[in-house]
Amino acid sequence: MSIQIPCPHCGPRPIEEFAFGEILAVPEHITDPDERDLDRAFMHNNPEGPQEEAWFHTYGCRRWVRLTRDTRTDQIL
């Protein structure tokens, strides 16, 4: 069973219909453009516990959904 994301426009929908991307803050001391791109692509924050997230409903209403998800249990709060 997949995670159900509560879309305010379409109702509860499977997570596979959504796109999620974390916009990372790259440390200021990294000035090499290649290193900055590497950090942006692979160095995710991966916090433990409740986190505010934005999901784009790609295969539905094509709108952003903001929610709080507990990353330990994947429960939508």
Over the stretch 7-66, which tens digit does the pLDDT of each residue have?
999 999 999 999 987 666 677 777 787 877 777 777 777 789 998 888 999 999 999 999
For residues 13-40, b (16+ Cβ closer than 10 Å) or e, as one string? Answer: beeebbeeeeeeeeeeeeeeeeeeeeee
What's the pLDDT at 29? 78
What's the pLDDT at 1? 58
The reply to whether the predicted model has a pTM over 0.85 is no
Domains in the chain: ranges and CATH: 4-24+34-76 (3.30.2270.10)
What's the pLDDT at 22? 66
Over the stretch 63-77, which tens digit does the pLDDT of each residue have?
999 999 998 998 998
